[in-house]
Amino acid sequence: DQALSLASQQAGPIHLLIADRLLPKMSGQQLAGSLATTHPDLKALFLLDAAEEASSESQLELSGRACLRLPFTPTMLLTKVREVLDS
């Protein structure tokens, strides 16, 4: 809810959403879908818990969604963010 509220107040473009794949009220993919209606150029990077199955990561990647498995280093995050923004 907070992310949707903040996004609705954003006058300019939102270039990147970084969100957990699993959130309390909706999935990260649902959040990205909701935000994409008002921010069509939005790109998303989903964070996967280390315990999530590899199939979750494969499904995200097959659907064209970028993901990064926890734990990760700052360098890994920066590299993935650059990759997503450049895609």
Spatial contact of 24 and 30, defined as CB atoms under 8 Å apart: no
* Residue 62 pLDDT: 40
* Residue 26 pLDDT: 84
Q: How far is 10 from 24, CA to CA, in rounded Å?
A: 23
Whole-prediction pTM? 0.79
In tens, the pLDDT along 20-30 reads 887 778 888 88
- Residues in a beta bridge with 64: none
pLDDT along the chain (87 residues), means of 10: 87 90 82 89 88 55 72 95 94
* Residue 48 pLDDT: 86
Q: How far is 23 from 28, CA to CA, in rounded Å?
A: 6
* Residue 64 pLDDT: 61
